[in-house]
Structure 1
Amino acid sequence: MKQLIFIFTVAWGAVVGSRAQEVLTLDDCLRWGIENNLSLRGQRNEIQKSKYAISENRAKLLPQINGVANFNDNFDPPVSVTDGSAYDKPYNVTQTLQYNAAAGLQLQMPLYNQTVYTALSISKVLDEISRLSYEKAREDLMMQIAKMYYLGQATAEQITLVKANIARLEELRDITVAFYDNGMAMEVDVKRVNINLENLQVQYDNAQAMLAQQLNMLKYVMDYPAEKDITLEPVNAETIAPIELTGLSENLYELQLLQSKSDLAERQKKMISHGYIPSLTLTGNWMYTAYTDKLHHWFHSGPSNHWYRSYGLGLALRVPIFDGLDKRYKIRKAKIDLENIRLAQENTRKNLETQYVNATNDLMNNQRNFKKQKDNYLLAEDVYEVTSDRYREGIASMTEVLQDEMRMSEAQNNYISAHYNYRVTHLSLLKLTGRVESLLK
C-alpha cells in the first residue's frame, strides 16, 4: 500500500512539475463556474427581466396621464341640424368652422379590473419560475463540472499508473538486453518487451491528449481563461466518501418547476374566465379647444383665436356580453394544458424515483466493485513483482512476466473505472437527495 501511494505521489509530481500550472480544487472550479459561466449569467439576467415584468404589470394599476393635441382642416366643414322652433323656423342649420384645434390632458385609471390583477399574479409566478430555472441551471452546471473534474482526475490517475508501468518495463528491458548480450535471453524477448513498451507509450500519449481535451472542456464550461494552464487536485483513491440515503427529496427543482408551471396554467385559465367580469375605469380630461374660419385669424387677437376650456371626471364601465365563444374555447385549451402538466408531474416523479432506486443499487454495486478491483490491482502488482524477481533470477520466462504485466495493467484500468463509476453514482445520489450544495466546502 505504501508503495502504491509513493508511486502516485512521485508520478503526479512529475506530471504537474513539467509546467507551471495552477492547481484547482473541485470547490475552486465550482465557484468559478457559478460566477462566470455564460449560460448561468444569462439565467441571472432572466431573473432581473422577470422582476421588471412584475413592475410593468403593477404600473397598469396606476393612473395613466397622456398629453394630447390635434388640428383639423375641414375642407368641406360638416353641418349640424337642430330644432329651430326657438327661432320660428322648422330647423336651425349650423355650419362648423373650417379649422379647429385642441390640446390638453387625459386621465385613465382602473378602479376594478380582475384581468389586470390576475396578470400581476401571473408575473409573480413567472418570476418564481425564472428563479427556479436559474437554481436548476446552477445545479446542473455543478453536476457537469463535478463529473468533468472526476473524469479528469481519473485520467490523471491513469497517466500516473501508466508512467509507473513504463518505468518498470524500461527496467525489465534493460535487464533483458543484458541477458541477451550474455546469451541468456533470445532476441525475440527483447522485441516483446519493446512492443509492450511502445503500447504503453501510446497509451500514455493518448491519456495525455485526452486529459488536455478534458481540461480544455472544463475551462470552457467554467469560462476560465483558455490560455492559462491548470491541473487538478490528485484524487484520494484510498477512501470512499459515505452518503446518507435519505430518500428522494421533495424539493428537487424539477418538481418545483412543474408545480410552478401548474400554478401558472391555473392562473392563466382564471384570467380567461375573468374576461367575463365587468371592469370599471376612472376617466378624466382637461382640454382647450379653438375654432376659426381662416387659418391666419389665429395669429390676431379676437374671438376667432379664443381657446375654450373644458374638464371633468367620469366612470367607464365595460360589461362583456358576447365574444363569439372565444373565451369558452380558450378555457377548454387551458384545461388540457393543466392536465398535461399533471401528467408531466406524475411521470417526472416516477422517473426520479426510479433513478433514485437504480442509483442506490449502483452505489452498493460500485462500492463492492471498487473494493474488489482495488484488491485485484494490488494483488496483480504483487504477482508482477514476484514474477519479475523470478525472471531476474532466471526462473520465470519473459512470457510469464509480460502476461502478468498485462494482467496488472488490466486490473489498474478496472480499478480506475470502478472508482470513477462510484464517484459519479455518489454524485447522482447527492442530486436526488437534494444535497448538491455539499460539494461547496
Structure 2
Amino acid sequence: MKQLVVILTSLFAWLPAFAQRTLTLEECLRIGIENNLSLAGSRNELRKAQHLLSENRAKLLPQINAVAGFNDNFNPPVSVTDGSAYGNPYNVTKTLQYNASAGLQLQMPLYNQTVYTAIDIARTMNELNRLSYEKAREDLMLQISKMYYLGQNTVEQLVLIQENRVRLQELRGITQAFFDNGMAMEVDVKRVNINLENLQVQYDNAKSMLVQQLNLLKYVMDYPAEEEIALTPVNPEQVESVSLTGLRSDLYELQLLESQKKLAGQQKDLIRQGYLPSLSLTGSWMYSAYTDKARHWFHSGPSNHWYPSSGLGLTLRVPIFDGLDKRARIRKAQIDEENARLNYENMRKNMETQYLNATNDLMNNQRNFQKQKDNYLLAEEVYQVTTDRYREGIASMTEVLQDEMRMSEAQNNYLSAHYNYQVANLTLLKLTGQLDRLFQTNTTH
C-alpha cells in the first residue's frame, strides 16, 4: 500500500466531521465503562445489595418502639373473682369506661439462627451483584472492541477503495488516450467507467456503513450523538497475539454459578434452621391511666392518675409442627441446589470447549490472515504488471479488468481475515482473563 498515508490524509479531509475527535480503543473502553447506562444499572444493583446486607444486620440490633393507646369501653367488661374471703361468694369488678396507655417496648434477638443465615445470604447476594457487574463490564468491553475493530475495518476498506479509484482513473486516462489515437475501442473506455461507477457505489456504501457503526458505538458508550468521532487507523502489523495460558478457572461466568450454588445451599439451610428454637429479649416501660368520665382527664385526682409498669423478659420460641411445610420447601431447595451444581458443571465444560475452539480459531485465522495478506499484495503486484503491459500495448483491457477484479476480491478477503483474526484474539483474551490488556494496547501507527 504505497499510497496509504496520502489516501488516509485525503480520506479524512473529505470527511471533516470524523476528524473532530479521534478516539483510541482504550479511550472508548474507558468512556463506555464510565457512561454506559446498562452498566450504571448494574452499579446501582451493587449498591442495593450492600443496603440489603445492612438491612439484615439491623435485625440483630434492639428494636425499640414508642406505643400509645386509648380505649372507650362504652360497654365496660367485668371480672368475677372468688369473694369468700370478704364474706361474699363472688367479687364482681367492673372496668372503668376509659383507659389510656403510653410507653416504650423493647425486643432484641438473643439467638436466632435464621437471622445469622439471612446475613450470610445477603453477603452472597452482594457478591453475586459484584460478579454480575464485573461480567457486564467484560461483556461491554467485548462489545465495544468488536465494534471498534469493525469500524477500523470499514475505514481500511474506504482507503483501499480509494486506492483502486486512483488506479482506475489513471487507467481511464490511458484508455481514453488510446481511444483518441485509434488504439482502443470505445467499449474499453465504457468498461473502465463502469468499474469506476461500481467503486463509487462501494465507497458510498462503506461510508454509510461507517456512519452507522460509529453511531452504534456512540450509543453503547453513551457518547453524545451530536458529536462526531473518528477511529485510529488500523495497523495490520500490530495485532498482538494473546498468551495461551489456559482457561482461567476464576472467570466471572464460573464465579457467578459458584456463588449461585452457594446461595442455593444457604437457602436450604435457612429453611432447615426454621426447626431450631429462637430466644429473644423483651422489655417494656409503660404508663396507664383509667377514668369513668372523659372530663376527668383534664383535672387532677385519683381518676386520672398514671400508673407506671416496667419489666424485662425472655421469649423462647420452639417450633413443633408446621404441617410439613418446611419438609416440602427443603426438598424443593435441594433440587435448586442440585440444578445450580449441574449448571456450574455444564458452564465449566462449555468454557473449556470454547477455549479449545478459540485456540484453534486463532491459529487458523492467523494463518488465513497471513495468506490473504500475501494474496492481496500479490494481486496488487499482478495488477500493476498487467497495467504496465497494457500501457505498452501488450495486454488487453479484459486482462486488466480481470486482474483488477481479482485484486478487489483479494482486498476484501484480506480485510475479512484481519477482522476475524482480531475477534479470535479478543475471545481468547476474555477466556484467559487477559481482557484488561486492551487498556494498554497501542492502536496507532
Band the TM-score falls in, shorter-chain normalisation: over 0.9
Give the deviation of 1:325 after TM superposition: 0.5
Q: Is the 8 A contact 1:16 1:231 kept in 2?
A: no
Q: Is the 8 A contact 1:154 1:416 kept in 2?
A: yes
Unaligned runs of 5+ in 1: none
- In structure 2, the partner of 1:280 is 279
- In structure 1, the partner of 2:5 is 9
Report how many residues are paired.
437
Q: Is the 8 A contact 1:283 1:316 kept in 2?
A: yes
2:135 and 2:300 mapped to 1: Cα distance? 72
Give the deviation of 1:16 after TM superposition: 2.1
TM-score, structure 1 normalization: 0.98
2:111 and 2:81 mapped to 1: Cα distance? 39
Give the deviation of 1:27 after TM superposition: 0.6
1:109 and 1:347 mapped to 2: Cα distance? 45
1:184 is paired with a residue whose SS is coil
Give the deviation of 1:243 after TM superposition: 1.9
Give the deviation of 1:114 after TM superposition: 0.4
Give the deviation of 1:75 after TM superposition: 1.5
The one-letter amino acid paired with 1:13 is T
- In structure 2, the partner of 1:304 is 303
The percentage of aligned residue pairs carrying the same residue is 72
What are the within-5 Å matches in structure 2 for residues 106-185 of structure 1? 106-185=105-184
1:275 and 1:284 mapped to 2: Cα distance? 24
Q: Is the 8 A contact 1:291 1:305 kept in 2?
A: yes
- In structure 2, the partner of 1:291 is 290
Q: Deviations over 1:308-338 (max 9, x none)?
A: 1000000000000000001100000000001
Q: Deviations over 1:166-204 (max 9, x none)?
A: 111111112111211221111111111111111111001
- In structure 1, the partner of 2:390 is 391
RMSD of the alignment, in Å? 0.9
Q: Deviations over 1:106-126 (max 9, x none)?
A: 000000000101001100000
The one-letter amino acid paired with 1:247 is G
1:70 is paired with a residue whose SS is strand
- In structure 2, the partner of 1:41 is 40
1:311 is paired with a residue whose SS is strand
Q: Is the 8 A contact 1:57 1:119 kept in 2?
A: yes
1:183 and 1:17 mapped to 2: Cα distance? 39
The one-letter amino acid paired with 1:225 is P
1:166 and 1:193 mapped to 2: Cα distance? 10
2:11 and 2:68 mapped to 1: Cα distance? 78
Give the deviation of 1:47 after TM superposition: 1.0
The one-letter amino acid paired with 1:297 is H
Give the deviation of 1:65 after TM superposition: 0.3
Runs of 4+ in 1 over 4 A off after TM superposition: none
1:238 is paired with a residue whose SS is helix
- In structure 2, the partner of 1:255 is 254
Give the deviation of 1:395 after TM superposition: 1.1
Q: Is the 8 A contact 1:68 1:104 kept in 2?
A: yes
TM-score, structure 2 normalization: 0.97
The one-letter amino acid paired with 2:433 is G
Q: Is the 8 A contact 1:391 1:398 kept in 2?
A: yes
Q: Deviations over 1:189-225 (max 9, x none)?
A: 1111111111111001000000111011111101111
Q: Deviations over 1:54-99 (max 9, x none)?
A: 1111110000000000100111100001001121111111110111
- In structure 1, the partner of 2:24 is 25
Q: Deviations over 1:137-165 (max 9, x none)?
A: 00110011010011001111011000110
